Amino acid sequence: MLPDFRLRQREYLLEISRAMTARLDLASLLELTLQSAVEILSGQAGLITLRHEDGKFAPFASIGLPRQAVPLFEPLWRDLDANKKKEENSLNDIALRLALASRAAGMVLRQVVALPLEIGEDIIGYIFIFRTYGVAFSDNDQHVLSSFAHQAAIAVHNAQLYQALSAEHARLNAIIENSGDGVMIINPYRIIQTWNRALANLTGISTDDALGRPCYEVLNLRTNQGVSVCHTQCPLIRPPVDGRLFAEGMHQRADGMLISLANHYSPQKNDDSKITQVIANVRDVTHFHEAEQLKQTLLSVISHELKTPVSIIKGYAGTLAREDANWDKATLAEGLAVIEEEADRLDKQINNLLEASRLQAGGFKLRLGYLDLAQVTRLAVQNLHATTTKHTFEVDFPLDYPAVLGDYERLREVITNLIGNAIKYSPEGGIIKVNGQYDRHKKLVYLTVSDQGIGIAPTDQEHVFDRFYRVDNRLARQTPGTGLGLFLVREMVKAHGGRVWVESASGKGSVFTIELPVGLDEQWLLTDSKKITN
């Protein structure tokens, strides 16, 4: 029969080891381990060292020792090395080392017992327990501490593994969360398990709203044919042959914006080749598609709009140059006038293309000066008047209309474009009015150009300022143009800190208004003027 106190000691040990294995937080586990060891052995202080990657040991927790004194006990573990064989890690002269250390720390510690924390052949640390009185640690003490150390080693090792696992988990999460691409992970039931920040930003759907729901409910991408990508293209439905799968679809954000998303699926399989999860990398390819579209439009604009005047010029020049023909003066003048007109048109369209590409490349700068928009308008009307016999012009600016800080050439271009369109898109003629207005309080000037032409349907009104946009009607088809004029108008006006809009109804004429600040806000110039490169 074991004596009573030993029995109690055993029970206590069992209790402690249960408590220790339940703890996964390393710091609090080490604290509990030390507290228990000191208590079991009736010690006054204790210290735990843990192994570093290089095999050396360093203190991780202590009890009953002033914090600043802990490093002074370094002689105790200085020569210990986990990479050495067990028998070489001798603690023979430990009493001497304790005497040195406690003297350095100014403490009276007379006895020490040290036990390795072992996992198999590996030593992961040491527990040191100190007594202030002279009674040496007995064999029973050694025995108790050794079985305690065994339990403690397992608990510490588990906590270390858990800590490493948590750190790895946090690292992976941080990588996924901070990835520039959208990342979605779905389980074999197509339930969303991960939805990172980039994807939340891209789709406008928050992580909270996405997690735990099936992908066809949340990111219901549809192909151009209207087929749901999650229903048909997901690797769980259609296993990929080469391990990866690519699918593209459209997604409508809550703010109404339609974006084009590309999904790269990577299915993860277990040992039985069953898909356990699918990682989807989601990328916004809207700009890519837009650029493609733009390239196509540009090519067709160049082929249609630039080729037409060139062939007219070539035709007239060829005819006029024929040696067998004897043209009279009037025919010659008429032919040359057509050539000049077409060359002008060509010049204008090339300029528009150049200006648009300059905008794209960001090489667009304003040359600012104070200018009189009324005078700019009168000059533009004078020039354009000569191109039409069907229209009459009314220009009206109030006397107090102020000078505006702006780029003369760009604003002349804006006004010429608006009046030119008013002429082009009112083929029956009519009155074209250009009015100026001044809002003294808001320090804003307005300039409106109104015509009595074909007008613009409401659905087209929001698009006429888009690059290359032309309303699809018979007149527009017959009228030369690149769809760049109003785009440039909007960008130039924006660059001046202003805005432009249209009010119109089909068949009832159109009113284009530009609003400009009288003097540009310097702060605005420094920041926003860079943004026009869109």
Q: Is 471 in the site for ligand ADP (CB under 6 A)?
A: yes
Cα–Cα distance for residue pair 303/308, rounded to 1 Å: 8
**For residue 390, what are its two tokens?**
């069907």
Among 38, 101, 381, 422, indicate the residue that binds ligand ADP (CB under 6 A): 422
Residue 286 CB, shortest distance to ligand ADP, in Å, is 22
Residue 507 CB, shortest distance to ligand ADP, in Å, is 10
Q: Is 355 in the site for ligand ADP (CB under 6 A)?
A: no
Name which of residues 15 to 44 contact ligand ADP (CB under 6 A).
none
Closest CA to 30 of 119, 127, 135, 164: 127
Q: Is 421 in the site for ligand ADP (CB under 6 A)?
A: yes
Q: Is 77 in the site for ligand ADP (CB under 6 A)?
A: no
Which residue matches tokens 């009953």? 64
Between 62 and 510, CB nearer to ligand ADP:
510
Residue 483 CB, shortest distance to ligand ADP, in Å, is 4
Between 218 and 454, CB nearer to ligand ADP:
454
Q: Is 114 in the site for ligand ADP (CB under 6 A)?
A: no
Please name the residues in contact with 36: beta carbons below 8 A apart, sequence gap of 6 or more: 16, 20, 148
Between 195 and 465, CB nearer to ligand ADP:
465
Piece of 61-69, 166-174, 365-373, 463-471 that binds ligand ADP (CB under 6 A): 463-471
Cα–Cα distance for residue pair 101/91, rounded to 1 Å: 15
Q: What share of the chain is helix, strand, coil (3-state, %, to 5)?
A: 45, 25, 30
Closest CA to 309 of 280, 281, 350, 270: 350
Q: Is 309 in the site for ligand ADP (CB under 6 A)?
A: no
Among 16, 464, 493, 516, indicate the residue that binds ligand ADP (CB under 6 A): 464
Q: Is 415 in the site for ligand ADP (CB under 6 A)?
A: no
Among 59, 116, 406, 485, indicate the residue that binds ligand ADP (CB under 6 A): 485
Among 510, 514, 515, 518, indicate the residue that binds ligand ADP (CB under 6 A): 510
Residues in the chain: 534
Among 235, 267, 453, 498, indicate the residue that binds ligand ADP (CB under 6 A): 453
505 three-state secondary structure: coil
Q: Is 454 in the site for ligand ADP (CB under 6 A)?
A: yes
Residue 475 CB, shortest distance to ligand ADP, in Å, is 8
Pairing type for strands 182-186 and 192-195 reads: antiparallel
Concatenating the DSSP letter of every residue in 236-284 gives: TTS--SSS-EEEEEEEE-TTS-EEEEEEEEEEEE-TTS-EEEEEEEEEE
Q: Is 182 in the site for ligand ADP (CB under 6 A)?
A: no
Piece of 203-211, 334-342, 368-376, 420-428 that binds ligand ADP (CB under 6 A): 420-428
Pairing type for strands 258-269 and 510-517 reads: unpaired
Between 436 and 483, CB nearer to ligand ADP:
483
Between 278 and 432, CB nearer to ligand ADP:
432
Cα–Cα distance for residue pair 421/408, rounded to 1 Å: 20
Pairing type for strands 245-252 and 57-63 reads: unpaired
**Phi first, then psi: what are they for 24, rounded to 5°?**
-110, -10
Between 41 and 484, CB nearer to ligand ADP:
484
**For residue 389, what are its two tokens?**
């016999």
Between 279 and 476, CB nearer to ligand ADP:
476
**Phi first, then psi: what are they for 499, rounded to 5°?**
-145, 165
Cα–Cα distance for residue pair 398/404, rounded to 1 Å: 14
Between 21 and 506, CB nearer to ligand ADP:
506
Residue 489 CB, shortest distance to ligand ADP, in Å, is 7
Residue 421 CB, shortest distance to ligand ADP, in Å, is 3
Residue 510 CB, shortest distance to ligand ADP, in Å, is 4
Closest CA to 24 of 223, 205, 166, 214: 166
> Secondary structure of 50-110 in the HEC alphabet?
EECCCCCEEEEEEECCCHHHHHHHHHHCCCCCCCCCHHHCCCCCHHHHHHHHHHHHCCCCC
Between 44 and 417, CB nearer to ligand ADP:
417
Contacts with ligand ADP, residue ranges (CB under 6 A): 421-422, 425, 451, 453-456, 464, 469-471, 476, 481-487, 510
